[in-house]
Amino acid sequence: MRKHFDITAESPVTAVDALADASGLPKQRIKDAMAKGACWWTQKGKQVRLRKAKRTLKKGSRLQLFYDEQVLARTPETPELLEDKSRYSVWYKPHGLLSQGSQWGDHCSLLRLVEQRLNRPCFLVHRLDADAAGLMLIAHDGKAAAALSQCLSGREMTKIYRARVEGKLVSENRLIDAPIDGKEARSWVSAVSGDTVEVRIETGRKHQIRKHLAGIGHPIIGDRLYGNQARAPLQLVAVALTFDCPLTRRRVELTLPESLHSLTDDVAPANHRSD
């Protein structure tokens, strides 16, 4: 069941009671949905998640519940803390874990899981496709988030990925600069071994690596959107980040441990080609 409930309190009432009356759902299910980030209300003029079921609403308060049984029933994959640098932390995001939540919930997102684990404010610096895995940075204060995001948007952060592709791509530092959604997009691709390639991106367009590799006839194995289904997750992993830290003014070189590269060697590509 997927439903959206939008209510305005006609008198002071607790959030869970108001939602139970409007939806007909058991209060325990509502509490679970609220804890998982599916309930929103307006606070100081901004729409934010409301997790406290017993919060008393004033007359005129607006409350929304985005209830999706399938989303709420999901169990998140477990991320791994690689480094805690105080104002930001470095994480391994596994395949299938969202970078951040949606209006339907955030319990299966890296951002929420880090917030719960470290008990600190958390801000997303960059995104990684839910189907992909690898290195991600989470900032822990607003200024750190802004500085790191500026570093990223200013193309001062080198991002390296590994991918397994269909066919054998023979290439050394090949530039792919096909625009994406009318915007400049630049990826540099080099063969590593067999069907494994390394990709360095200068821009961060949505699905950039997936679209660029599919565009030259070598979609990533497991890419259901731009390639063919396979018996494995999307074979794309963010393996390295390098940048001059705007917080410490020091060079930072982050590399994913080999044990977490998670490219599945026993999945046969759908097609066999070579350039």
Radius of gyration of the chain (CA): 21
Beta-strand relationship, 251-255 and 80-84: unpaired
Q: Is 128 exposed, middle or buried (0-12, 13-18, 19+ CB in 10 A)?
A: buried
CB 255 within 8 A of CB 239: yes
Query: Do 227 and 221 meet the contact criterion of CB atoms below 8 Å apart?
Result: yes
Q: Which two tokens stand for residue 270?
A: 């759908």
**129 is annotated as an active-site residue:** yes
> Catalytic one among 129, 131, 195, 223?
129
Pairing, β 133-139 against β 88-93: antiparallel
Give the catalytic positions in this structure: 129
